[in-house]
Structure 1
Amino acid sequence: MTSPGDAAPVKPPPSFSPGVARASSTSRYSTHASQRRDSVQSLDSNHVDQSVGPSPPPLSATTELPIRSASPYARSLRSSTPQLNRSSLGSPDGGRFEGAEDVRSLITRSFSPVVGVYASVDTDDLVHEKGFPGGFWGLIRPFGENVPGKIVIRDSVGSSRGWEDYGVRFVDLGGQARYPPDATPGQPPPLTQIDEALTKDLEAAENPLARTLRPKDLAGASTISPLYNDFLHQLLSIPSATPHETFRHPVASVIAISSRNTSPLETLRQLYADTTNGDRRLPEWIHPEYLRYYVLVHDEDRDDIAESTKLYDQMKRHFGLHCHLLRLRSNQCVVTDDDSVEVPECEWVSPAERLSGSAEPLVDLDMDGHLYLFESDVMAIKAFVRELVAQSVIPFMENRVAVWNDQVASRRRGISGRFMSMSRRWAGFGSSSRSSLTGSAGGVSGNYDGARGFYRPDAPEAVLRKMADFAFMLRDWKLAASTYELIRSDYANDKAWKYHAGVHEMCAISLLLNPVSMPAKTKLGDIDQMLDTACYSYHTRCSDVPNALRCLTLAVELLKSRGGLATESAARWAMRAMDLGLVGSIGQVLLSERISACYASRPPLPGVRWGARYRKAGMWSVLAADLWLQLGQPSLASACLEEAEHLYASVLDRNEGIFPMPEMQVFVDNLRHTIQVEFLEARGLNTQESLDAVPPMDTQETSEKLDKRQHRRSLVVNPLESGIQDLADNEDRPDDDFERA
């Protein structure tokens, strides 16, 4: 047994190989009873210099990374593109995204590096005393989504750029459930969970969406509705740790012990062994050699800081410089304390967590239903997260990308690499001896295991995919796109269809995220081809509906942010998602609104009346209103209908609500009448006595609409369907000819 006070050096165990180194989210629209306290000031980044290398053993000269500056602010920033600002420092759920940069920031933040957390029992017990049921992982999870200060990242050509909205995702490696989470028998699929969560939000009594929204807030060309924002967050929060992409594979892991531990060094070894070849070992398609970061949690209220400092120095001598001393108070903080700070909400909460209620905090009368920390604890956790990301995780990823680019990717790009690839494809030269064992299921190269559906982590195809994903998470989209392009043919040759779909999807997203490469009309055709290939492979060959929907949804938002011809392409991909049945009833309405927003963002050409798509936008807004009416949401239907009238009025130069064709006018009048009746029923008023205030309908649908039934009937399926059909038949006519129809 080794005590913290031992000064004798302790050798690491033989198993240590050097290798290669929402607390509450029930409703995103609910308002708190009390105002959120002032945020803690940004932290200074004056940390000690640290070199990056393998974790437990002593750092060797062959694997040691170059030492970075103590403060990333000291390095010069050279950037030819504007920075992507985050809409809020906390969770953006309370706000509304107003521009394309916020949508791009949302997408890039969804592909953040994953950091595993494995804490000892004594550490979790200390955190439980502070009132956090999730243990050490639940304590630091909300603070990783937004790293304080500016994070400076070097790209593949050596230039640096600072990011204000960088973050990481902490995942639990030591909880009861395994990571990646296994499919629970009887659990609905992820997209069904998303639809159920959205339905739960709509049915909430305190939901502000139940009130009438202004049309520009719901389906405007430059805004995102709160419900669609929630849909995007849930879609991008699905726990999708799969072999074909490494975005959800841990880049590093935090191994934590507390000052209460009686045998700290042995506990650290045991925790490391558990994640390497023990019970907490990750699946074989995840590379086990990731960065280890060791944390000593000191109890400020009960333990001696001198003893903890001595133990911390021992940890740095034996396990390297990837260590941190985190000083926390073990007493529970309540709102009545002078220095209490409310814990921020988790932004990335999976649909399963929202439905199960595990993301909600424990309700305490003294805490007003929310969790609080002492201000000193908040400052200490933010300093820990910043040091972890800025001085360990980012340099580790930069080094791995540089090594893989030099040792693997450069050879594949050279003449010899291309020759060997062609030889392996057409003549079978250079293939591994395992190809004779795997047979036709193993692919031509022999590296793909068709029976189990993945490449080994050390195979060149897997290394290149990991390198491209690392470059994407470091926001070096040019290198990421070129690497995805490099391995597309290999996956097609091996018939690894999910890998094939993934690289096409991410190659298109990388090109669209790169602000330097503004795709022209010809390049948009190439991007459409990539998206079509990815969607076909995901949906038809692999039956992977969540990834197919993610691919099309991200394409819609990124193409819409480009403007011009790309907005029409975005609308077509949203229609594809609806045609394939990838979304539920609420998703159909939300995509209809986004199609309307895509067309509405296409203004007419300067000086002329033609070139706009306001009539198409109005038609899809009318369809969205009818779909909202089917779901029993008259307020949202009214907002969509008002937006449609406004769009048509901008084309016809007439008052809103006036349409040139009689069939269209009858249909819209009946739709407006039905919405008014639904409002009366929702307010519990006597419908028959209030009909005097409602204009009469021109059809025999009045009596049917007055029935209080559970499932509303769509106006599109009645004889007035010709009104919508006329809209569809005339949507391709120029706007200046529409008035003469």
Structure 2
Amino acid sequence: MLFPAGTDPTTVRQLLLQHTFLPLVSVQSTHNADVLFQRQCLNDLLSVLQVFKPYGNNARYSVPNQRFKITNSSLITRTYSLFPVRFEPSLPELMMVHDASSSPEKLKSLFSISSLELLLKNLNQPTSISARPHDKLYLELFRMVISSNQIVLFDTLNHPVSQIFVIDYHTDTLDTIRKLIVDFRNYNFPKYFQISDLLIHIFVVYDSQMVLEQDVNAYQTKLQTNLSVSSTAVPLLMVASNDTAYVKISKLESATIEEEVQSVQLQHSKELTENDTHLTLPKALDTVLKSRCHEFINRHLIPHMEAKLRVWGDLILAPKKSITGRFFSVSRKLFNNNSSSDLNQTEKSQFNHKENYYHRSSSEQAIRKLADWSLILKDFKYAYSTYDLIKKDYINDKAWVYVASTQGMCIISLLLTQTQPLASDTPPQAPDKNTLRKIRHDIIEPYIDNLSYTFKSRLNVKTYAIRAYLVVAELLLSMGMMFNIPWWFGDLIENYYLKCMGEIDSHLASSAENPQVIRALLYERLGYSSSRNHLVPGEFKWLLSEKHETLPKREVKEDTQEIADEKEATEEDLYINEQKLYANKPNALVGLTRFRKSAAWYLLAMREWLELKDKEYVRQLMANVSECFEVSELTEEWYDRPESLLGVIKLKLK
């Protein structure tokens, strides 16, 4: 039995961890450091951030035998082969970009749905310089929806974990670096952002042909002694212009929708070359940057996050969980007899209903960051318990946007916990029926309903609801396939895909009659998920294989086999009924699969692709409905009539 082809939900789950739940590192470089990199790469328009940004994705740009050790809240150390980071502009620059596009009081949309549709249509064009194969289009859609560097008050995932200053060893003095740090700390950050949690780090760039390594080590010691900041040395080997050892890296690596839209607009305004969309770096620099980024993450970033989590857990979370801490928390709210100075501090720690935020010094903001950082460090179970705890405080304070965001993270962390391997060689354990009922009826369904109401009705930002629908549907699909329980969440997955499609269609209402790449991709995903939504028990899954005609040989006892061998074949045993009608599929599967429903979704997807003038891809999708229909030629069957959808598609493909 032929299963429809599609993107594995495990791959989508990994994409989520690599592009959303990872630390954000802001980068600021001096002019001299930029000049040094421009000389190294023979490109006068290059910046340090452009060079660093791709190397945060250590899934693609990795060192040999790459390993990252992370210790969770239970003091259990696990080793991971990947721990990507996002290199972004400095926090003041990010704040200015987002504040200029919308007023600070109004929550900005995560992404532009119109721009997303435009980008996907551009990626589908073979003539486009950034064209993608069709099997990668859904991954691109998912990545664009979940990728954002927008800083918001109710979510700390996009708050920088570290601030990196890239300086030139030859020209930038200690006083220059001190001024950079002081100016950064004196910036008027939002009241909800805690700057003391940042790891300040220095990347010292130098020409290895002019300076000895011992001198650079001495310089790093001065930085640690005088400024109390850690540092990493980055040696550059100046190359000759005729050197051919270069690597090419895309400038749009992990780009947001806004960044890719700018690239498309440039492509339409002028003829872009490969140099406009790719960086050309010396191979020696490529090797050095991979090594130094790995060293920074392993030696500085992960230990810094682990240390902060231990401090917050001991000083803030543990007292809050205790019965005594809960009693005094209620007493302070009901019987506040503090002095004026204590009262001011208490007011700062509470929710600001006028401006809709928690102050940076409040325990609620620290606990939210504790949960987010635990999720980044893949301690999903601890993150879920922390989200669930702080959600109750948000509800008491009627901080609805915080409640909605935390409910979404509760669902995500819970589903990631269920599908996380217990150890490197131990797969996750399948939950029992009571746990599954609680996950669905007590957590997922009410939380999704509430957060979608908050984002759509209270805040008028439907893109947050769209992202929640898509992420939860993919995680449920991954969980159902992993434990062979797709029937538990099949209707829920379909419902969330359809809600996501409905929100997008309502936004693109003026072009509702026109074909959409987003709609076609979601129809395909609905077809894929429906084909996996079968009721076949695990021990009978062999019936779903393509060679289901060959039945496994039955096991018989030895004495039974001997009797059968001794028995002489009679004329009745040799009789074959030539008129007998054989089933074209095992009777045991009747009513247990959803291939006809899957085929219906794929037919709707093919209709969209036909209207998008992509006949070649429609021919490829025909294989996904071959289990239910004859697709090689027109037949006399009812489904090939001219008024039926499949008949229309076959006629247009002629």
Which TM class, normalised by the smaller chain length? 0.7 to 0.9
Contact 1:478 1:510 in 2 (8 A): yes
Deviations along 1:275-297, whole A, 9 cap, x unmatched? 1114xx54332211111011211
Partner of 2:123: 201
Matches within 5 A, 1:177-256: 178=95, 181-184=98-101, 190-205=112-127, 225-256=135-166
Contact 2:71 2:78 in 1 (8 A): yes
> Distance between the aligned counterparts of 2:340 and 2:501, measured in 1?
46
Partner of 1:18: none
1:418 Cα offset (Å):
3.4
1:593 Cα offset (Å):
1.4
Partner of 1:705: none
Partner residue of 1:453 out of 356, 368, 372 = 356
Partner of 1:300: 208
Matched, 1:138 2:61: no
Partner of 1:12: none
Partner of 1:265: 174
Partner of 2:70: 153
Q: Which amino acid aligns with 1:611?
A: L
Partner residue of 1:645 out of 614, 625, 630 = 625
1:477 Cα offset (Å):
0.2
Specify every segment of 5 or more residues in structure 1 that has no aligned partner in the other structure, as ranges. Answer: 1-95, 219-224, 677-693, 695-741
Contact 1:646 1:656 in 2 (8 A): no
Partner of 1:619: 600
Matches within 5 A, 1:262-661: 264-278=173-187, 282-289=189-196, 290-301=198-209, 307-320=215-228, 322-331=230-239, 337-343=243-249, 346-357=252-263, 370-420=278-328, 427=334, 447-514=350-417, 515=419, 516=428, 518-519=430-431, 520=433, 521-522=436-437, 523-525=439-441, 526-563=443-480, 564=486, 565-581=488-504, 585-605=516-536, 606=540, 607-640=588-621, 642-643=622-623, 645-649=625-629
> Distance between the aligned counterparts of 2:276 and 2:118, measured in 1?
27
SS of residue matched to 1:406:
helix
Contact 1:619 1:644 in 2 (8 A): no
CA spacing shift, 1:360–1:506, aligned 2, 3 Å: farther
Contact 1:645 1:656 in 2 (8 A): no
SS of residue matched to 2:626:
helix
1:662 Cα offset (Å):
6.4
1:208 Cα offset (Å):
10
Aligned residues: 556
CA spacing shift, 1:626–1:407, aligned 2, 3 Å: same
> Distance between the aligned counterparts of 1:483 and 1:300, measured in 2?
47
Matched, 1:165 2:82: yes
Deviations along 1:204-228, whole A, 9 cap, x unmatched? 5258989xx9xxxx6xxxxxx3111
> Distance between the aligned counterparts of 2:632 and 2:615, measured in 1?
23
1:543 Cα offset (Å):
1.7
Q: Which amino acid aligns with 2:233?
A: L
> Distance between the aligned counterparts of 2:116 and 2:525, measured in 1?
18
1:644 Cα offset (Å):
5.5
CA spacing shift, 1:405–1:365, aligned 2, 3 Å: closer
> Distance between the aligned counterparts of 2:84 and 2:342, measured in 1?
41
Q: Which amino acid aligns with 1:646?
A: S
SS of residue matched to 1:591:
helix
> Distance between the aligned counterparts of 2:368 and 2:337, measured in 1?
21
> Distance between the aligned counterparts of 2:127 and 2:91, measured in 1?
37
Contact 1:114 1:249 in 2 (8 A): yes
1:99 Cα offset (Å):
3.3
The share of aligned pairs that are identical, in percent, is 22
SS of residue matched to 2:53:
helix
TM-score w.r.t. length of structure 2: 0.76
Partner of 1:672: 649
Q: Which amino acid aligns with 1:191?
A: I
> Distance between the aligned counterparts of 1:380 and 1:365, measured in 2?
27
Partner residue of 1:109 out of 8, 15, 18 = 18
1:260 Cα offset (Å):
2.9
CA spacing shift, 1:100–1:663, aligned 2, 3 Å: closer
Contact 1:124 1:135 in 2 (8 A): yes
Q: Which amino acid aligns with 1:167?
A: P
> Distance between the aligned counterparts of 1:359 and 1:304, measured in 2?
46
1:630 Cα offset (Å):
3.6
CA spacing shift, 1:178–1:504, aligned 2, 3 Å: closer
Q: Which amino acid aligns with 1:244?
A: F
Contact 1:434 1:447 in 2 (8 A): no
Contact 2:634 2:640 in 1 (8 A): no
Partner residue of 1:121 out of 24, 31, 37 = 31
Partner of 1:43: none
TM-score w.r.t. length of structure 1: 0.67
1:485 Cα offset (Å):
0.5
1:658 Cα offset (Å):
6.7
> Distance between the aligned counterparts of 1:530 and 1:144, measured in 2?
33
Q: Which amino acid aligns with 2:220?
A: Y
> Distance between the aligned counterparts of 1:540 and 1:382, measured in 2?
45
RMSD of the alignment, in Å? 3.8
> Distance between the aligned counterparts of 1:319 and 1:368, measured in 2?
39
> Distance between the aligned counterparts of 1:158 and 1:614, measured in 2?
47
Contact 2:266 2:272 in 1 (8 A): no
Contact 2:24 2:85 in 1 (8 A): yes
> Distance between the aligned counterparts of 2:299 and 2:392, measured in 1?
36
> Distance between the aligned counterparts of 2:92 and 2:245, measured in 1?
31
Deviations along 1:546-581, whole A, 9 cap, x unmatched? 221111111111111112122332111111212333
